[in-house]
């Protein structure tokens, strides 16, 4: 970070090198360049955040689908195993 003394030295050197007539033009050009750079980098950050949000949404959707499949499979197994075990007991009792 540049302190006040550093800014004064930089300003004095710029004034000596470019003169009082060119200094405002150079300042405007530097400001415009910095503004364009900030706009470009903020656009990149927004794109990155949007992609990350889509990834998170897709992950959550897949997680919910997996949970739903697990629950339905567990329910199917529970429903199908009870009658089968009763039927197996009847078959065993009938065979004895």
pLDDT 10s per residue in the chain (96 long)?
778 899 899 889 988 998 989 989 988 999 999 999 988 888 777 777 788 888 888 888 888 888 888 888 888 778 776 555 555 555 556 655
**pTM, entire model:** 0.42
User: CA-CA distance, 50 to 53, in Å (whole number)?
Assistant: 5
The H or E element that residue 12 is part of is helix 4-95
């Amino acid at each position: 970070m540049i302190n006040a003394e550093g800014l004064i030295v930089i300003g004095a050197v710029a004034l000596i090198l470019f003169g009082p007539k060119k200094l405002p033009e150079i300042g405007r050009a530097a400001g415009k360049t910095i503004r364009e750079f900030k706009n470009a980098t903020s656009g990149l950050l927004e794109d990155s955040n949007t992609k990350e949000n889509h990834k998170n949404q897709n992950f959550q959707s897949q997680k919910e689908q997996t949970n739903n499949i697990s629950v339905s499979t567990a329910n199917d197994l529970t429903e199908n195993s009870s009658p089968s075990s009763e039927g197996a007991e009847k078959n065993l009792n009938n065979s004895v």
